[in-house]
């Protein structure tokens, strides 16, 4: 458990908070490319890290992410006109370019130079892997973006999508690094479900429901090995990574004979504010193209996530109890909720917007969760002492893959999996 004070340190990210200042040193996913396809198209509302922002693509295709409010009378620029390389406020016509500089002020006399003095907050952006990334930290220390393998592959070999999650970012991250819960939350009966999309299974997840955890702190965050018994000769290893500040990797499932050829997935939990999160899902097939049906299943709004609205809110959500089906819960899966992401959201959001960790009782299966908290709180302490997080300035350290494999019992898990977790591959 954590003290209430440390729980606040871990979770609170809005402007002025210590954790928020730390997280701002990292680039983060802001929007899908599909949200800003058209130059001079409609602006997009955006809220990140407790700030109201507006995004637009200008006439030349440059992307701007600005303070949502005009510097004149604070009208919201979401209603602005996106025209001629700038976003023009509809109240009095003040116009801003992608850097936040006011470039036109038609409500003032022609000879006025007032516009030159007006600059609203803007943040650097970059487009990678179908995602618009933003850097919201100090401008004097702008780092390189994280060089995830999936973000550099052709579009046919990677995907990215997102959904709204109505809870704090940290409890969502903790769900992502908890390899123990897959033996329960995502468990299905031996009978093929009739209501769920078919996804790969791994009987070893249910065969051994109490994995033993091994944690190594790395330059990117944490490497987490969850060991289960497979047979008298072998262990089944599920190797995941927590990458600072809010990314997790998901190992492939199934075919251990060809595990190096399988796609892998991951998540990013990007804080909207203290109480809400953008849950991103991404993935890569490093060696070949996704099949069309698989790609649509992973990336579409009616695919792996289940139906999602135009605002990226899952149709299955807390307002309708995730459409839990008690008959399905008895006969087909452990939860009665369709879809692995919806099962995750249900339990994570059920804890409340910010879980009270002072009331928890953690066990040995929570080893990775405990390690995550210790690491983040250590980084916060170092940050208060003037030390910036080194991972934020080392984009190459993000080039890792998750893995699942069988190893003979006397083989070290990291040595045995090195050929799978390296992006240099096989």
What is the predicted pLDDT for the residue at 213? 86
Q: 174 and 292 share a domain?
A: yes
Cα–Cα distance for residue pair 260/230, rounded to 1 Å: 19
| pLDDT in the model for residue 259 | 55
User: Whole domain around residue 261: which residue ranges?
Assistant: 149-421
pLDDT at 256: 53
Decide which of 90, 115, 141 is a domain's last residue.
Answer: 141
pLDDT attached to residue 306:
67
What burial letters (b/e) apply to 275-311, b meaning 16+ CB within 10 Å?
A: bbbbbbbbbbbbeeebeeebbebbbeeebbbbebeee
What pLDDT shows up at residue 421? 85
**Are 335 and 212 part of one and the same domain?**
yes
CA 414-417-421 angle, to 5 degrees, is 100
> Do 97 and 222 fall within a single domain?
no
Indicate whether 5 belongs to any domain: no
Could you give the CA distance from residue 340 to residue 365 in angstroms, rounded to a whole number?
A: 20
The verdict on 300 and 248 lying in the same domain is yes
> Which residues contact residue 374 at a Cβ distance below 8 angstroms, ignoring those fewer than 6 apart?
none
229 & 136 share domain: no
3-state secondary structure of 292: helix
230, 118: one domain = no
Match 């969850």 to its residue by tokens: 226
Are 231 and 369 contained in the same domain? yes
Determine, yes or no, domain membership for 331: yes
Would you state the structure tokens that stand for residue 154, as one six-digit string?
């052709």
**Surface-to-core class of residue 319, CB atoms within 10 Å of its CB (0-12 exposed, 13-18 middle, 19+ buried):** exposed
Would residue 354 count as lying in a domain? yes
Sign of CA dihedral 187, 190, 192, 194: negative
The reply to whether 426 falls in a domain is no
Tens of pLDDT, residue by residue, the chain (426 residues): 799 999 999 999 999 999 999 999 999 999 999 999 999 999 999 999 999 999 999 999 999 999 999 999 999 999 999 999 999 999 999 999 999 999 999 999 988 999 999 999 999 999 999 999 999 999 888 899 999 999 999 999 999 999 999 999 999 999 988 767 767 787 876 554 444 444 444 566 556 677 888 899 999 999 998 888 888 899 888 899 999 999 999 888 755 544 557 888 999 999 999 999 999 999 999 889 998 888 887 876 666 666 788 789 999 999 999 899 999 989 988 888 888 888 989 999 999 999 999 999 998 888 889 999 999 999 999 999 999 999 999 999 999 998 888 999 999 888 888 888 877 644
Cβ contact 269:165 at 8 Å: yes
Tokens of 199: 């996804």
Q: Are 173 and 96 members of one domain?
A: no
Same domain, 196 and 136: no
Q: In whole angstroms, how far apart are CA 261 and each of 192, 233, 250, 283?
A: 26, 24, 15, 14
pLDDT in the model for residue 326: 93
Q: In this structure, is residue 228 part of a structural domain?
A: yes
pLDDT at 392: 93
Q: Which of 92, 112, 141 is the last residue of a domain?
A: 141
- The total of other beta-carbon atoms located within 10 Å of residue 333's CB is 22
List the beta bridge partners of residue 284: 158, 264
Domains contained in the chain, number = 2
CB 187 within 8 Å of CB 205: yes
Residue 105: CATH number of its domain = 2.102.10.10
Query: Any idea what the CATH number is for the domain that residue 401 is in?
Result: 3.90.380.10
pTM, whole model, 2 decimals?
0.90
Pair (132, 153) in one structural domain: no
Tell me the sheet residues that pair with 28.
134
Report the C-alpha gap between 8 and 168 in whole angstroms.
Answer: 11
Confirm whether 16 is domain-assigned.
Answer: no
Residue 81 forms part of a structural domain: yes
DSSP assignments along 23-91, one per residue: HTTSEEEEEEGGGG-STT---EEEEETTEEEEEEE-TTS-EEEEESB-TTT--BGGGSEE-SSSEE-TT
Alpha carbon dihedral 278, 284, 290, 293, in 10-degree steps, equals -20
Q: How far apart are CA 347 and CA 185, in angstroms?
A: 9
379 φ, ψ to 5°?
-65, -35
Alpha helices in 281-412 (DSSP H): 292-299, 326-331, 340-350, 367-384
> Which among 141, 170, 187 is the end of a domain?
141
Are residue 197 and residue 87 in the same domain, yes or no?
no
* Nearest alpha-carbon partner for 24 in 141, 169, 160: 141
Domain assignment of residue 366, yes or no: yes
Same domain, 159 and 132: no
């Amino acid at each position: 458990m954590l003290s209430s004070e440390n729980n606040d340190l871990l979770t609170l990210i809005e402007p002025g908070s210590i954790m928020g200042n730390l997280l701002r040193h990292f680039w983060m996913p802001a929007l899908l490319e599909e949200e800003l396809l058209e130059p001079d198209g409609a602006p997009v509302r955006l809220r990140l890290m407790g700030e109201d922002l507006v995004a637009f693509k200008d006439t030349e295709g440059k992307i701007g992410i600005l303070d949502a409010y005009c510097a004149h009378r604070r009208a919201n620029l979401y209603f602005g006109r996106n025209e001629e390389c700038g976003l023009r406020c509809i109240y009095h016509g003040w116009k801003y370019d992608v850097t936040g500089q006011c470039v036109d002020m038609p409500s003032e006399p022609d000879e006025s130079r007032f516009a030159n003095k007006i600059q609203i907050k803007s943040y650097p952006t970059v487009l990678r892997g179908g995602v618009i990334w933003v850097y919201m930290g100090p401008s004097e220390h702008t780092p390189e973006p994280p060089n995830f393998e999936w973000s550099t592959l052709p579009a046919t070999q990677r995907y990215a999508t997102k959904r709204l999650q109505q809870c704090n970012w940290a409890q969502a991250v903790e769900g992502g690094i908890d390899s123990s819960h897959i033996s329960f939350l995502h468990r299905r009966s031996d009978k093929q479900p009739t209501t769920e999309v078919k996804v790969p299974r791994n009987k070893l997840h249910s065969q051994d429901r109490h994995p033993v955890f091994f944690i190594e702190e790395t330059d990117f965050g944490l490497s987490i090995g969850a060991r289960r018994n497979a047979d008298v000769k072998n262990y089944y290893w599920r190797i995941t990574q927590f990458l600072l500040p809010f990314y997790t990797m998901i190992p492939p499932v199934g075919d251990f004979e060809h595990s190096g050829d399988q796609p892998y997935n991951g998540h990013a939990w990007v804080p909207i504010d203290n109480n809400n999160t953008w849950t991103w899902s991404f993935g890569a097939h490093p060696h070949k193209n996704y099949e069309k049906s698989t790609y649509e299943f992973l990336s579409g709004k009616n695919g792996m996530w289940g139906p999602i609205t135009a605002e990226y809110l899952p149709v299955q959500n807390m307002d309708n109890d995730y459409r839990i089906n008690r008959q399905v819960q008895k006969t087909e899966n452990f939860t009665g909720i369709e879809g692995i992401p919806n099962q995750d959201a249900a339990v994570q959001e059920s804890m409340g917007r910010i879980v009270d960790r002072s009331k928890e009782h953690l066990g040995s299966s929570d080893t990775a969760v405990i390690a995550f908290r210790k690491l983040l709180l250590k980084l916060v302490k170092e940050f208060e002492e003037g030390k910036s997080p080194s991972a934020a300035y080392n984009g190459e350290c993000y080039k890792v893959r998750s893995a699942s494999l069988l190893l003979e019992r006397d083989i070290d898990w990291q040595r045995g999996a090195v050929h799978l977790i390296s992006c240099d591959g096989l």
